[in-house]
Amino acid sequence: MTQSLDRLKESPSQTAGPYVHIGLTPNFCGIGGVYASDLGSTMVNEQSKGERIDLRIRVLDGTGKPLKDALVEIWQADANGLYNSPAELRGAADPNFLGWGRQPTDTETGICLFRTIKPGRVPFSDGRLMAPHITLWIVARGINIGLHTRLYFSDEEEANAEDPILARIEHRVRVPTLIAERQGDTYVFDVHLQGEKETVFFDS
């Protein structure tokens, strides 16, 4: 026998289910009057610093059909590469940009749109810079544990080429699954849950 490590285990995940909107975007699903607005629905205001961009995201199942009941959250640095978080010790982030957003996929088209700013570069643990990226967290009916992936930008080829996380991906043919295509001021990003084009998901 040894001493006990005296640790607890993380609560196991369970699916967000088909009615996730009731809890996380109640106004979106017609439950008005409980909260003034849905949390995370607006990310930028007039004072937010940085280049305004739109993200047009879909989540596709194993048959290529967009999920119409998913919920996507994003988390990103500000235009200077600083996170608006107490664990950010390098400096103060833009007070007009929280860096977190939440959108349900549209119940008809499966599209979710984020209006945000393009993030700056954030250092990796060894000091090298990561390419600009946005963290995605996806939940839905049928997803037992929230999926973690990243959105990188098609017009950041040089930075992407030296990104330490993208460099981790052994099967290089999968790297483009993480790169959103720029169309004007909009980046288009399809997340494939399965199949040949399955998006790279992370365990971190």
Closest CA to 186 of 50, 44, 54: 54
Residue 73, beta-bridge partner list: 102, 137
Q: Out of 55, 122, 179, 180, name the contact with another protein by CB under 8 A.
A: 122
> Across the chain, which distance is largest between two alpha carbons, in Å?
64
The verdict on 10 binding another protein (CB under 8 A) reads yes
- How many Cβ atoms are within 10 Å of 184's Cβ, its own excluded? 7
62 near another protein, judged by CB under 8 A: yes
175 belongs to the binding site for another protein (CB under 8 A):
no
| Closer residue to another protein (CB): 53 or 71 | 71
By CB under 8 A, tell whether 203 contacts another protein. Answer: yes
Candidates 47-55, 77-85, 154-162, 180-188; binding stretch for another protein (CB under 8 A): 77-85
Q: Which one of the spans 49-57, 118-126, 153-161, 182-190 is the region binding another protein (CB under 8 A)? A: 118-126
Whether the Cβ atoms of residue 25 and residue 159 lie closer than 8 Å to each other: no
Q: Which residue number, 127 or 184, has a Cβ lying nearer to another protein?
A: 127
Closer of 47 and 125 to another protein (Cβ):
125
Order the strands of the 133-139 sheet from edge to edge. Answer: 100-104, 71-75, 133-139, 147-153, 179-183, 186-192, 52-60, 111-117
